[in-house]
Amino acid sequence: MTSYGLSDAPPCAAPLASVRLPRHPLPANACDSHLHILGPAQNFPYIPERVYTPVDCLLADYQLVRSYLGLARCVLVQPSVYGPDNRVLLGALEDIGDAARGVVVLRGDESHDDLSRMHALGVRGVRVNLVDLKAPRSQLPREQLQHLADMIRPHGWHLELLMHVDQHPDMTAVLAELGVQLVFGHMGYLSRDVADYRHPGMKAMLALAKSKSAWVKVTAPYRLADQPGYQKAADVTRWLASECLDRLVWGSDWPHVMVKTDMPHDADLLDAMAEWLPDRGQQEALFAANAATLYGWPP
């Protein structure tokens, strides 16, 4: 498959001819904790300030991936190209039912009843994108985060943070005071120019996880580096698993909108993760048990 850049339209799923089962079967009740549904664009327009424009990547496309990977549960995460327009995500939650959960983006002025309606559909978290490609943040937006935390606390939701944790080694001063569970996307989204995965920012994220205040999504190995075999991601995954296995959840990051090299196959990504953590107990925690706890399913 060809590679593409941010301004190009990425493919959304492996063609039928290339569908194949992973070599490592998943445990019962396995969950994909991070995926996006996109489109139809003609019905659900993207925001003007987006950093990429995808092709339609519909629920039916993802259901094929979910089927051949052997996933029982999934978590839909609001993509940045929609901003706070959650209609696609909420519609998909309604279609899938209790096997799905959702993480939305909020404007900040939603009512308690608005959030209750989302909760009934399966929403369990709010995503905050703190990655600014044009002007990286020097400080975390304390007031914004606290406001959102106060809104969602009555519903038992979490804050999912898309951020380069290495840019915020002092994050604990803000995040530990919010009073809600935190979820860090993409293993902390370590910047590509940071070679040492034990950076102070990563250690701060780990400290929050070990204090039972945070979870870490083990997703998107291609976001950390382009090197063959995703060695940097493998090192990070093994380190996190050795320190806080009970706070890790796995996700596919389908449809891989930020890949800048050849499009990976979802079965290969899953197999790589299973090979990095070969113990069946590790896999049970990563792929199934932890997600049930975080997103509120029966074990």
Token code pair at residue 108: 């900040």
Predicted pLDDT at 2: 28
Query: How far apart are the C-alpha atoms of 159 and 108, rounded to whole Å?
Result: 13
Token code pair at residue 205: 């994220």
12 near 1, Cβ under 8 Å?
no
Pairing of strands 31-35, 158-162: unpaired
pTM, to two decimals: 0.93
pLDDT band at 153 (very low <50, low <70, confident <90, very high): very high
Mean pLDDT across the chain: 92
Least confident of 11-25, 170-184, 206-220, 255-269: 11-25
pLDDT value at 16 more than 60: no
Spans of all domains in the chain:
27-295
Pairing of strands 182-184, 214-218: parallel
| pLDDT (tens digit per residue) in 222-279 | 999 876 679 999 999 999 999 999 999 999 999 999 887 788 899 999 999 999 999 9
Domain 27-295 CATH superfamily? Metal-dependent hydrolases (3.20.20.140)
pLDDT value at 82 more than 80: yes
3-state secondary structure of 160: strand
Predicted pLDDT at 195: 86
pLDDT value at 283 more than 50: yes
Distance of alpha carbon 124 from the chain centroid = 13
Question: Exposed e or buried b for every residue in 175-208, given b needs 16+ CB within 10 A?
Answer: beebebbbbbbbbbbbbeebeebebebbebbbbb
pLDDT > 90 in the chain, percent: 83
| pLDDT (tens digit per residue) in 165-201 | 999 999 999 999 999 999 999 999 999 999 899 999 9
CB atoms within 10 A of CB 264: 19
